[in-house]
Amino acid sequence: MRQQWTWTRYLFLGGVSGLGAWVGLLLYLFSLGSAPIFAAGVPLLLFVAVPALHGLANVERARAGHLLGTPIPRPYGPARRGLLTRYADMLSDPANWRDVAWLCAHTVYGPAAALLSAALWSSAAFGITMPLWWAVIPDHLAGSVFYGISVDHLSGALLAIPAGVAIGIVAWLVTRPLALGEAHLARWLLRPTTKARLARRVEDLTASRAETVDARAAELRRIERDLHDGAQARLVSLAMSLGLAEEALQTDPQAAARLLAEARGSAGSALTELRDLVRGIHPPVLADRGLAGALEALAMQSTVDVEADLAPLGRLPAPVESALYFTAAEALANVAKHSEATHATLRLHRSGGSVHLEVADDGTGGADIDRGSGLAGIAGRIGAFDGRMTLTSPAGGPTVLHVELPCES
């Protein structure tokens, strides 16, 4: 029943947008035809007709996508600068011409389907309530025929009831294919072509690859600097202390002992710095125990109370494990630093060919990917694996970070 209503409503609104489609189509054809002739035609086309076309198509994408349960992506490329460039882009972009093709089809299908549906439902309602009409307005029904049944007397009016029911059944059966037909037509014409999808994918991959390369280069620079300023400097100072101690050994044994103690201190500091550096490159516990074990260790270390719910996934590809580990580490660090949370949960599981990681806290919320380089870094890292990151953090909390990485089992 509710579905019948959903389909019928879809058809009725389709009728309305079908009427809008007439306006859009005429406007588009007029400005397209006038553009080569009048100077004003180009801006009219680019700033009125094309946005109207895209607007109508986007409304239909949303409507049909909702009805079919799978969103229909928009196929348009990014707008470039320059009037003539955009004019040329518009003429050469197949997405525009497919929109126009849909618009032509919709000017006919939309109103026709809406009218058919409206006619069937209203006839059914009229037939079923015929005796009522006969009783109230008999004069208007004089000589009237309802689907071959003369209804100017009571028996005819009663006979119209089964006829109305029959029409209702027809309407019931026809609504679904009509609505789905309209939606499928829209999807077929309005979704990006395979070629456009591939082109978009190549663009995305190029961007994420560049990001990955940049991130790697920055990471290597950081490691180089850390080694240079940290462990290397400590070792130099260690060598110096040892050299001085060697000289002082005969003349001033007390000074030699002091220098040796200094040397040991330098060695200890160098080890601490190297250890921290190694943790940042590839945490040893991740190599030892895999993702679930490393996340458990991470949860234990956190200064916030972390409840870990980790499904044993077996070993994943090392880069995936590393990306998920650092995501969790960054997220938990953020929880500890910014959220004022007392409790956090860390979840890891696999479903539908993807690994899901979720970090949630009961803090004050208000986290934003664009503020704070940490989260942007995570997003870049996840993007490199075709993963998706979503952050919901309303002011007042709670904050939930969800990461999904495709990963065949």
Q: Which residues bind another protein (CB under 8 A)?
A: 264, 267-268, 271-272, 275, 278-279, 284-285, 287-289, 293, 296-297, 300-305, 342
The distance of closest approach from Cβ of residue 175 to another protein in the complex, given in angstroms and rounded to an integer, is 59
Q: Which two tokens stand for residue 162?
A: 């089964």
Task: Tell me whether strands 354-361 and 388-392 are parallel, antiparallel or unpaired.
Answer: unpaired
d(CA 160, CA 138): 15
Closer of 39 and 300 to another protein (Cβ): 300
- Cβ of residue 314: shortest distance to another protein, in angstroms? 15
Whichever of 297 and 391 has its CB closer to another protein, that residue is 297
State the minimum distance, in angstroms, from the CB of residue 327 to another protein. 19
Alpha-carbon distance of 76 to 122, in angstroms, equals 40
Nearer to another protein, 1 or 300 (CB): 300
- Cβ 301 to another protein, closest distance in Å? 6
Nearest Cα neighbor of 9 from 63, 46, 77, 90 is 63
User: Rounded CA gap, 302 and 121, in Å?
Assistant: 64
Which residues of 256-362 form beta strands (DSSP E)? 305-310, 343-351, 354-361
- From the CB of 399, what's the least distance to another protein, in Å? 18
At residue 81, what are phi and psi to the nearest 5 degrees? -85, 155
Could you tell me which residues come within 8 angstroms of residue 340 by beta carbon, excluding any fewer than 6 positions away?
363, 364
Closest separation between CB of residue 268 and another protein, Å?
A: 5
Q: How far is the CB of 304 from another protein (least distance, A)?
A: 6
Distances (CA, A) of 354 to 146, 320, 406: 60, 11, 4
Give 169 or 278: the residue with its C-beta nearer to another protein: 278
Q: Which is nearer to another protein, 280 or 372 (CB)?
A: 280
On whether the CB atoms of residues 269 and 231 are closer than 8 A, the answer is no
User: Rounded to the nearest whole angstrom, what is the least distance from the CB of residue 272 to another protein in the complex?
Assistant: 7
- Strands 354-361 vs 343-351: parallel, antiparallel or unpaired: antiparallel
Which one, 237 or 302, has the nearer CB to another protein? Answer: 302
Closer to another protein by CB, 23 or 278: give it.
278
Pick from 196, 179, 278, 175: nearest CA to 230: 278
Spatial CA neighbour of 321 closest among 371, 355, 277? 355
CB 364 within 8 Å of CB 397: yes
Closer residue to another protein in complex, CB, 185/274: 274
Q: How far does Cα 242 stand from its chain's mean position?
A: 60
The distance of closest approach from Cβ of residue 250 to another protein in the complex, given in angstroms and rounded to an integer, is: 24
Nearest-Å Rg of the Cα atoms of the chain is 35
Go through the chain and tell me how many residues it has. Answer: 409
Instruction: Name which of 74 and 289 has its Cβ closer to another protein.
Output: 289
